[in-house]
Structure 1
């Protein structure tokens, strides 16, 4: 995965450092045996792990220590200091973990510890099938093996591509700054080694809970002991004349991102329909490729419904500084081979059109199988559906959120991965609650934005800092309750907000 490795700096920890150099709760970065190493003290214990996040290479020392874990400042991955294990997505790989020797008032970092293995669960289904090879499905399959499950695991997906790093498809990969080898989450050999059978490019026609079998489009059947539905979402399609023209694109899969890139190589003017996160990220990426870009959207401000007016105005002006032209309060009524016609009668020249007008959860399989559906697949706090033996995770799952006291469905990559991990543990007999705090990030040129929590409605937005200086916090509140926190240029504060949500610490949240 992309991200630069840290250069070796700081003390040579293999040669030892004074124990007094390690302060409780403070991380120190040095190096040992040719690798960057982070050391931290908790009581009398000293831990040593790799200093670089295994997701995108984030500097862990700039993150947050929480008990015996460390959290990455960039995208909130969480690792065990005791074992190096990646406890929470988006990181899936463990950190290297080193032996530590304390003697004569000094601390020495020795060789690497072997990775820990877990025993097979005592009570587990004979086989597990995962329908959906996206964020949730892939994370679940990996977690099943990490938990020691030895039964058959099959992952089924209608996309022929390997599970991929979907957030990158609208960001660096589309912009041309991330090579394609970064995009697959794993190489084919990984799935072979972990004995995860992949059935890609195939469609499940129906599920039969009474027989615990699924039927594929070609009529073949596959049985399961437990089933995870992680079917994700599909882009909302345009329903206007010209929507089926070859230069009109959507973005959800690797193939679709490739198609946009291929078209962009010979295009000059692009129109993006929709000022969603995907729409604005696509606009930024196409500007990076030198295209003229116009964004058409019905709202008065980009992302106002999610981010509020001040951030919406800022993002608009920020994109305008990079050459994007907005046509807000407008919709497209027709697409011609060389232009997009708006409801106002205005015509925009375009040899590339990308539609980012939202997505719909793929709940058809679940609904046809008799599962309870409520604007998503209804699940309990353990991600179990209304039908025994079937779980759901990711974009389709609507779960009871303890933070808001409501049932919510969230279309975030990190949420999907973490839910896949939770569902995997519970399919093996665990009782892990889905009490995660939603988190996502968005990238606009060189500007990252981090969002923690979940706010569908709010009374006010309290702002601190300066957007102009790219150093700001937005707290979304209903009465005295903090629902969500958005940060710009304040990665550590975003981590602190996430922790405060987890601990239900209203005092900390009120101070943001």
Structure 2
């Protein structure tokens, strides 16, 4: 079989290498990444920032055991059949771009930090000493996670957000998360701009979104439009080149930039390279740890006009189309999300009244 070069070694890129070996691919596999090994990113804003947690996706010996070559370098150019760093050129029939995204920042008269990699987290951890006054700007998942960690490190935290964070992900449960955040730190309900008086702050953390890291594709023949454009098999417009995770966007769909998409797109591109038929896609799963809450969502939890919102107590919601489960969100209820995932992937019909009844074990509805 021909070889595979993977540019980028976080969860998406690493999952391609692992998936190919699990599928029986015997050709050479090379991962090119500036870090020393494959690292997971979600713990950076939580466990890693406040303590010491292992970020490696696999032990060092995994790479030799699975005959995967790790090249600690940055891929800067590519074309059909090749990838180049500043000093090396690699050739293969299959090239997978998994370079992720880069954080947007703010131009302010204060030190501004962002968080995307281990170096960013190390710099933030050093800056967030007890008593430091920090402003955090953002309306998504990252801002409340960073606020949680900054407070735990002893900082005085103010969050600037123009909206209830992550309402499109957690639905009405985002209001509960927002209320908890307002109890824990100062929240200012507006966007942080250059006109803001920041005299009382020592530093600012910008959690204002990301942009796909398409630098490797600039000057190539790849189509770039809010990410490297791919089809549903994650093939670009150049034969033998694929893009997955945060760096890509499926044609005619919005770009996705969360961990689960990296994993799912990697699994799909393994089938594309192997020429095998993929299983039915699983619903998107998102989670966030903030101020003592484990928030999780599967599928879509903001109902459309013809759909029904079902509540199960105060911390669980479901969205149904008739008896078909479309999505679920829960706070501190992992079992609910596991059950909802099973119901959705197996297309099990459910009774809305039973879903709403907390006295009916959720496992009963998965059979």
Category of TM-score, reference length = shorter chain:
0.7 to 0.9
Aligned partner of 1:248 in structure 2 is 112
CA contact (8 A) 2:325 2:343 kept: no
Matches of 2:169 and 2:5, distance apart in 1: 35
Aligned partner of 1:214 in structure 2 is 83
Structure 1 residues 473 and 416: CA distance shift in structure 2, 3 A: same
2:281 to 414, 426, 435: 435
Structure 1 residues 506 and 398: CA distance shift in structure 2, 3 A: farther
Residue 457 (structure 1) shift: 7.6
Structure 1 residues 325 and 203: CA distance shift in structure 2, 3 A: same
1:304 to 152, 167, 170: 167
Aligned partner of residue 120 in structure 2, secondary structure: helix
Residue 409 (structure 1) shift: 3.3
Matches of 1:376 and 1:456, distance apart in 2: 26
CA contact (8 A) 2:301 2:329 kept: no
Matches of 2:291 and 2:192, distance apart in 1: 25
CA contact (8 A) 1:378 1:397 kept: yes
2:71 to 175, 186, 199: 199
Residue 174 (structure 1) shift: 1.3
Q: 1:130-279, aligned counterparts within 5 Å?
A: 130-157=6-33, 159-176=34-51, 179-180=52-53, 182-200=54-72, 202-209=73-80, 212-218=81-87, 220-238=88-106, 240-242=107-109, 247-265=111-129, 268-279=132-143
Matches of 2:201 and 2:321, distance apart in 1: 43
Aligned partner of 2:329 in structure 1 is 486
Segments of 5+ residues of structure 1 without an aligned counterpart are: 1-123, 334-340, 401-405
Residue 487 (structure 1) shift: 1.3
Q: 1:343-422, aligned counterparts within 5 Å?
A: 346-347=197-198, 349-366=200-217, 368-399=219-250, 407-422=253-268
CA contact (8 A) 1:475 1:484 kept: yes
CA contact (8 A) 2:301 2:318 kept: no
Q: Normalization by structure 2: what TM-score?
A: 0.85
CA contact (8 A) 2:170 2:297 kept: no
Structure 1 residues 457 and 205: CA distance shift in structure 2, 3 A: farther
Matches of 2:233 and 2:329, distance apart in 1: 28
Structure 1 residues 348 and 440: CA distance shift in structure 2, 3 A: farther
Residue 367 (structure 1) shift: 5.9
CA RMSD of aligned residues (A): 2.8
Matches of 2:300 and 2:6, distance apart in 1: 27
Residue 508 (structure 1) shift: 5.9
Relative to total residues, which structure has the larger helix share, 1 or 2? Answer: 2
Q: Normalization by structure 1: what TM-score?
A: 0.63
Residue 434 (structure 1) shift: 6.5
Relative to total residues, which structure has the larger strand share, 1 or 2? Answer: 1
CA contact (8 A) 2:180 2:291 kept: no
Residue 440 (structure 1) shift: 1.4
* Structure with larger Rg: 1
CA contact (8 A) 1:229 1:392 kept: yes
Q: 1:40-51, aligned counterparts within 5 Å?
A: none
Structure 1 residues 511 and 367: CA distance shift in structure 2, 3 A: farther
Matches of 2:216 and 2:302, distance apart in 1: 27
Matches of 2:56 and 2:43, distance apart in 1: 10
- Count of residues in correspondence between the two structures: 354
Aligned partner of residue 357 in structure 1, secondary structure: coil
CA contact (8 A) 2:137 2:191 kept: no
Aligned partner of 2:359 in structure 1 is none
1:465 to 309, 312, 330: 312
Aligned partner of residue 262 in structure 1, secondary structure: helix
Matches of 2:167 and 2:129, distance apart in 1: 32
Aligned partner of residue 122 in structure 2, secondary structure: helix
Aligned partner of 1:80 in structure 2 is none
Aligned partner of residue 381 in structure 1, secondary structure: coil
| 2:298 is the alignment partner of 1:426 | no
1:497 to 340, 345, 350: 340
Residue 266 (structure 1) shift: 5.7
